């Protein structure tokens, strides 16, 4: 097998999977250190790995067929399943409407074939009639729509692929390769011009019934105030309460919004007692949340279960918020701002968790849970192909990043209306900023050690 810097394609996938395992157990810094030590035990080191990783990425992008990268994503999917699902109990004998998950997978494959007689197929698999199949399908679909950690959907995907046979696996491989081949082509599409946000339009959006729109408008308007594009007290008076609202009412899905709001408040010189009090309360809640998250994470640190990934990610996010607010509040101690906290800003309990602007929580909805097939067959394609992008902080009109998705073949076309699989492929470690961004490269999440904010001079 071909090797680049002594690393084969199989080894590249294995190394990425090992780092993903370290990431699920440790902080980013500790994961990198553990990975470096493990690489040395394998007769290589981080420098050699990164040289190989970047070179393989170049080769993937140069492949007009997409098949080399497709092969890599399939290997990553197999490893990710072992690393993050290895300790999940076997659910193949769980039942819905008297039908096990194993038999449901067989039924789903049989019902997907063109020209079949649903009544005959249902009876052949032990059901009373086609109406019984509809009830079974609905029950299992509901169960999988509630499977937020994708344990059930992943096992269904494995069973479906088993009964669909090699032809189905090849079909998924070719579909993945086609998507990747398209992504390797020159991207000459010219975006249609959009009307840029102005201070006045942002001012109007601060009154939007959408929390996401209000928060985004406040962030952009604060930037406009900071650079002098929005002048006048009306902009500041309308913007500041919304930025404080972000600090007071963010949730685990919008932690980065709170961190950004705090930075914007200091960018525009808001060092009042109200702002200090809001930051102090936000810090206290974040510290309390961090303790709770770490307690929940510790028992599953070494278990191959998917929730440890989500918990560790939240630990990193809250750790970053705590570090940032501690630095900002330390800066406050050096200023002459009064420390009193007015009662008007005592936080109220949040009635529910609304979707955030940075990361949405919750599961996914579909009629037939064939998205699980993509979790196994297509595997880590989405995670490897798409990078999470954060809008640049230098423009008033922040770009909106649309979610991209790959459509999988639906074995029962009439039943499938919507499928949004969440595939977790193993990722390679994020190195220093000297490492160039590449399609399929892991997103870096930097939290600790942020410098204290320094107020800019006019």
- Tens digit of each residue's pLDDT (9 = 90 or more) over 387-446: 333 333 333 333 233 323 333 333 333 333 333 333 333 344 433 333 333 333 333 333
Sequence-distant (6+) residues with CB within 8 A of 295 are: none
- For position 372, what pLDDT does the model report? 40
- For position 377, what pLDDT does the model report? 40
- For position 6, what pLDDT does the model report? 86
Average pLDDT over residues 340-360: 36
**Alpha carbon distances (Å) from 430 to 31, 53, 55, 424:** 10, 11, 15, 16
282-325 residue pLDDT tens? 999 999 989 888 888 888 888 877 678 878 888 999 999 999 99
* Of the candidates 202, 199, 223, 222, the residue with the CA atom closest to the CA atom of residue 214: 202
| Residue 158: pLDDT band with limits 50, 70, 90 | confident
Q: Could you count the other beta carbons within 10 Å of the beta carbon of residue 42? A: 12
- For position 187, what pLDDT does the model report? 61
Residue where the block lists tokens 């002594």: 6
- For position 401, what pLDDT does the model report? 31
Q: Report the C-alpha gap between 47 and 4 in whole angstroms.
A: 13
Q: Angle at Cα 18 formed by Cα 12 and Cα 24, nearest 5°?
A: 135
Q: Report the C-alpha gap between 247 and 258 in whole angstroms.
A: 5
Which one is predicted more confidently, 160 or 452?
160
| Residue 189: pLDDT band with limits 50, 70, 90 | low
195-206 residue pLDDT tens? 789 999 999 999
Q: Report the C-alpha gap between 27 and 38 in whole angstroms.
A: 16
- For position 1, what pLDDT does the model report? 58
- For position 342, what pLDDT does the model report? 38
* Of the candidates 450, 455, 453, 454, the residue with the CA atom closest to the CA atom of residue 322: 450
**Bridging pattern class, strands 3-4 and 7-8:** antiparallel
Query: Is the pLDDT assigned to residue 79 strictly greater than 90?
Result: no
- For position 218, what pLDDT does the model report? 96
* Of the candidates 101, 76, 88, the residue with the CA atom closest to the CA atom of residue 20: 76
Question: pTM of the predicted model, to two decimals?
Answer: 0.49
Q: Report yes or no: 178 and 68 within 8 Å, Cβ to Cβ.
A: no
37-55 residue pLDDT tens? 999 999 999 888 988 888 8
| Residue 373: pLDDT band with limits 50, 70, 90 | very low
Q: Could you count the other beta carbons within 10 Å of the beta carbon of residue 25? A: 17
Percent with pLDDT over 90 in the chain: 37
What integer best gives the mean pLDDT of the chain? 74
Percent with pLDDT over 70 in the chain: 70
Average pLDDT over residues 173-186: 83
Q: Angle at Cα 373 formed by Cα 372 and Cα 374, nearest 5°?
A: 90
Query: Is the pLDDT assigned to residue 375 strictly greater than 70?
Result: no
- For position 408, what pLDDT does the model report? 32
Q: Could you count the other beta carbons within 10 Å of the beta carbon of residue 165? A: 10
- For position 448, what pLDDT does the model report? 37
8-23 residue pLDDT tens? 889 999 999 899 888 8
Task: Out of 116-120, 227-231, 232-236, 418-422, pick the least confident.
Answer: 418-422
Query: Is the pLDDT assigned to residue 242 strictly greater than 90?
Result: yes
């Amino acid at each position: 097998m071909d090797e680049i810097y002594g690393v084969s394609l199989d080894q590249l996938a294995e190394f990425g999977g090992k780092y993903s395992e370290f990431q699920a157990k440790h902080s980013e810094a500790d994961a990198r250190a553990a990975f470096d030590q493990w690489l040395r035990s394998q007769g290589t080191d981080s420098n050699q790995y990164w040289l190989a990783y970047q070179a393989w990425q170049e080769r993937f992008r140069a492949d007009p067929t997409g098949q080399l990268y497709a092969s890599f994503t399939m290997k990553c999917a197999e490893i990710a399943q072992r690393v993050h699902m290895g300790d999940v109990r076997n659910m193949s004998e769980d039942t819905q409407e008297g039908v096990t998950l194993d038999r449901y997978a067989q039924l789903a494959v049989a019902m997907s074939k063109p020209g079949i007689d649903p009544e005959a197929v249902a009876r052949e698999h032990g059901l009373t009639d086609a109406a019984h199949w509809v009830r079974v399908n609905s029950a299992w679909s509901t169960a999988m729509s509630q499977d937020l950690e994708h344990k059930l959907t992943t096992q269904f995907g494995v069973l479906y692929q088993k009964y669909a046979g090699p032809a189905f696996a090849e079909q998924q491989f070719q579909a993945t390769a086609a998507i990747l081949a398209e992504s390797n082509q020159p991207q000459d599409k010219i975006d249609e011009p959009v009307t840029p946000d102005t201070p006045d339009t942002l001012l109007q959006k601060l009154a939007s019934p959408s929390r996401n729109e209000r928060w985004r408008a406040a962030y952009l308007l604060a930037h406009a105030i900071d650079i002098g594009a929005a002048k006048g007290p009306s902009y500041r008076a309308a913007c500041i309460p919304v930025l404080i609202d972000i600090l007071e009412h963010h949730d685990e899905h919008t932690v980065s919004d709170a961190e950004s709001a705090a930075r914007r408040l200091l960018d525009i010189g808001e060092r009042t007692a109200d702002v200090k009090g809001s930051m102090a309360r936000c810090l206290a809640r974040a510290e309390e949340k961090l303790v709770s998250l770490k307690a929940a994470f510790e028992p599953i640190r070494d278990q191959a279960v998917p929730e440890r990934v989500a918990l560790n990610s939240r630990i990193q996010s809250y750790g970053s918020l705590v570090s940032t607010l501690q630095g900002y509040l330390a800066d406050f101690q050096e200023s002459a701002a009064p420390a009193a906290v007015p009662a008007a800003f005592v936080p109220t309990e949040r009635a529910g968790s609304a979707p955030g602007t940075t990361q949405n929580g919750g599961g996914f909805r579909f009629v037939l849970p064939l998205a699980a097939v993509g979790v196994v067959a297509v595997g880590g394609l989405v995670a490897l192909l798409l990078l999470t992008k954060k809008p640049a902080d230098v423009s008033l009109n922040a770009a909106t990043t649309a979610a991209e998705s790959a459509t999988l073949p639906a074995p029962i076309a009439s039943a499938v209306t919507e499928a949004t699989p969440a595939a977790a492929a193993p990722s390679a470690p994020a190195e220093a900023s000297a490492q160039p961004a590449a399609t399929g490269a892991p997103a870096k999440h930097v939290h600790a050690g942020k410098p204290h904010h320094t107020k800019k001079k006019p």
